[in-house]
Amino acid sequence: MGFSTKLSVSKYFLALVVAFQVILYASMYLDLLVVRVVIGAVYLLFIPGMVILKLLKLERLGSFEVIVYAVGFSVVFLMLAGLIINQFGYIVGLSFPLAVLPLSLFVNTLVLLGAVVVQVMNRKRTGVFESEEVFVNRSVLPLVLLPVLSIIGAYFVNTTGNNLILMGMILAIAAIFIFSVFSKGVKSRSFYVFAVAMIALALLMHVSLISGYILPYGGDSPVELYVFRGTELNSHWNPIFMMPEDEIYGRYNAMLSITVLPTIYSNMLGLDPTWVFKLIYPLIFTLVPVGLYLLWQPYVGKKLGFIAAFLFMAQSTFFTEMLALNRQMIAELFFVLLLLVILNKKLPAASKFVTFALFSFGLIFSHYALAEIFLFLIVSAWVISALYMRRPGFNLQLSFVVFFFVAMFLWYIYVSDGVVFNSFMSFASNIGAQFGDFFNPASRGQAVLTGLGLASSPSPLNTLSRGFAYLTEFFIVLGCFALIRKKTPFRFAGDYTVFSVLAVVFLVLLTLVPGLADALSMTRFYHILLMVLAPFCAVGMWLMSQYVFRYRRELFFSLLVVAVLVPYFLFQTNFAYEATGGESWSVPLSSYRMSPIILYGYVGFIDPMSVHGATWVSTNVPYKYNIYGDNALYTSLTAYGLIYRGYVKELTATSELYGGQFAYLSYITVNYELATSNGTIPRVLNQTDVVYSNGGSEVYFVPLP
């Protein structure tokens, strides 16, 4: 039993848009926070994109593709709308163009006008998106329990420290994967798409919802929150950071994905900035593996596409490091959408170019490194196709390549005083300077050495974990080799074949070129390349089953998939480490027993006491070049004190404090005497006065002589 719906343009579409806007305005006026967040989120995530889809007459898209495209169009629409009112609002006297009232009026007016145009265009049409029905069988509804368990489990960890529900949720995901691989009755694409979405959402939420603050995971989220809050508090985005010479802050500030976009979500939804990053962004990021499944499924089939998507989600970077990289989460959606557009032969030429252009803006506005990687792929792919393939079926057009190249460099050169372009040149110069260490394996970094099996393992359990990771890499290599040798029955499009070869070449360069992996980090590079290479792991396993087993090949294929990917998943989530008492890096599962140095240092876990202390500093201390900070300099002082790091000196055991200077100590230093290479920090705080203390953070002041 099941039910189905058909996505179509109807005479009620304009009425639906008006109804959403009326409810949103009413919830703003009456301060109905829950209604405002829920209705507003659905409206902002889908409705602007649906209007654009209908304006472009993309009627040949499947229903699942419509959902992914609609969210992509909505996100880029909000960035463009915010950019327009920010840059030109002064013409009509708007001093604070990104404030709630002018922003909501501008965005809603544009959406309403678009809906009116759609209504006029489609007055005589009964439907547009009729190429595929969304069929949902009742048997898949239990999949909804996965994110429910994730949310409840995170709540229990936050309030009691009990991780049993989250452990059960991870086992449930593994069980669903096993069932999906072995079951012969699962033939519906809807089941696999829904399963991918629910697994992705559960994995993301079980990390994102831990604590009421962002989880840096050693990443960039504190600086991202800093530039976001700066735009939000000023109700205006300044393309040039207040310290133009600071390339790091400057290139973050140049990204609309973490300045203008979250400001729109926060102001129109009435949502706290922290929860924009912890709720809205993971919801958007959930569509990345869904989009990848839609990309891979036509080439490898439904089941192998699902297996590839599971591998992508199972790799720990997806649900840990990425949650501290909000701009990359948004960029990856556009990366996938651009691949879908390039490989889609059914899109009308004019609509295809406009769609490619809009998604190009989305990627360029979101993340410079991913935009550069995409440019490398399409330029190289077009050159290879022009020189060697000469096939009329090749989808990538020169006009696409030229447009992306021009748009990217115009934005990166002229926005934020060219700081993004300058940083790119700096990275290239640094890589060139390290070529002298070409024959030094250590120059590749620890992550590269670990991936190649050249680094020592800290424990037998970790060795076993690496073994399963190496197996996935082996099967990817096997699948790619078969593709190049044309020894596989799976027929990939010419574009995808070239992209795959380029991804392999890029992966090889990361291991050979000193310093290249450090430009972004090897784990992030590998995660990005999996968006192209993951299906070849499933292909490699399928080929192995065909070569080794002559009878009951499908059964042995299923056994091989489960035997490799389920343990891989359990190790990547740190379930195996937590269950056996080994050293675990999972905050949701193991924070109760993690070393404080790891939890508050490496992971950057932010506690309420440190946040309160940081906000006290920001309002009561003349901190510019007059304060020292401990590890919180990279977390709570930046994210919640909104204190520019360049104003604070790092506090070490050898720091010398002079009269009139302050020192801020966060929870880890106050309670654990954070150690440095030269001793412990409290030793430098003699002859100082405590001017603030809340039991978990302290502020010291050196009296003037």
- Gap between the Cα atoms of 107 and 110, Å rounded: 5
What pLDDT does 127 receive?
46
- Gap between the Cα atoms of 194 and 200, Å rounded: 10
- Gap between the Cα atoms of 328 and 524, Å rounded: 10
> Are residues 527 and 315 in contact, defined by beta-carbon separation less than 8 angstroms?
yes
> Are residues 374 and 363 in contact, defined by beta-carbon separation less than 8 angstroms?
yes
b/e per residue 191-200 (b: at least 16 CB within 10 A): bbbbbbbbbb
What backbone phi and psi angles, to 5 degrees, belong to 552? 50, 50
- Gap between the Cα atoms of 132 and 358, Å rounded: 25
What pLDDT does 324 receive?
94
Tokens of 189: 């694409």
What pLDDT does 589 receive?
96
List, in sequence order, every residue forming a beta bridge with 2; answer none if it has no partner: 137
What pLDDT does 338 receive?
97
Each residue's pLDDT tens digit, 258-274: 999 999 999 999 999 99
- Gap between the Cα atoms of 567 and 241, Å rounded: 46
What pLDDT does 126 receive?
47
What pLDDT does 417 receive?
67
The contacts of residue 416 (CB under 8 Å, 6+ apart) are: 239, 240, 241, 244, 250, 251, 253, 254
> Are residues 374 and 335 in contact, defined by beta-carbon separation less than 8 angstroms?
yes
What pLDDT does 135 receive?
52
Report pTM.
0.92
What pLDDT does 655 receive?
81
List, in sequence order, every residue forming a beta bridge with 628; answer none if it has no partner: 649, 663
Each residue's pLDDT tens digit, 634-684: 899 999 999 999 999 988 877 888 888 899 999 888 887 665 545 566 656
- Gap between the Cα atoms of 587 and 206, Å rounded: 10
Of 562, 568, 572, 2, nearest to 306 (Cα)?
Answer: 562
In angstroms, the Cα distances linking 651 to 625, 671, 678, 681, 698 are: 13, 16, 11, 7, 13
What pLDDT does 252 receive?
92
> Are residues 653 and 683 in contact, defined by beta-carbon separation less than 8 angstroms?
yes
Tokens of 519: 């430009």
What pLDDT does 480 receive?
92
Q: Which stretches of 161-232 are assigned E, i.e. beta strand?
A: none
> Are residues 488 and 482 in contact, defined by beta-carbon separation less than 8 angstroms?
yes
What pLDDT does 10 receive?
55
Angle at 322 between CA 321 and CA 327, to 5 degrees: 130
List, in sequence order, every residue forming a beta bridge with 135; answer none if it has no partner: 4
What pLDDT does 43 receive?
97
What pLDDT does 384 receive?
86
Q: DSSP secondary-structure letter at 597?
A: I
Of 287, 283, 282, nearest to 66 (Cα)?
Answer: 287
Angle at 312 between CA 158 and CA 223, to 5 degrees: 55
- Gap between the Cα atoms of 198 and 540, Å rounded: 26
Of 184, 29, 96, nearest to 557 (Cα)?
Answer: 184
Q: Which residue has the tokens 């993004």?
A: 420
What residues of the chain score a pLDDT lower than 50? 1-9, 126-133, 677
Provide the greatest CA pair distance for the chain.
88
What residue segments make up the domains of the chain, in order of their start? 2-121, 600-701
Q: How long a stretch of residues is the chain?
A: 705
b/e per residue 379-404 (b: at least 16 CB within 10 A): bbbbebbeeeeeeeebbbbeebbeeb
- Gap between the Cα atoms of 455 and 472, Å rounded: 18
> Are residues 365 and 257 in contact, defined by beta-carbon separation less than 8 angstroms?
yes
- Gap between the Cα atoms of 467 and 445, Å rounded: 20
What pLDDT does 139 receive?
66
Provide the 10 A C-beta neighbour count for residue 15. 12
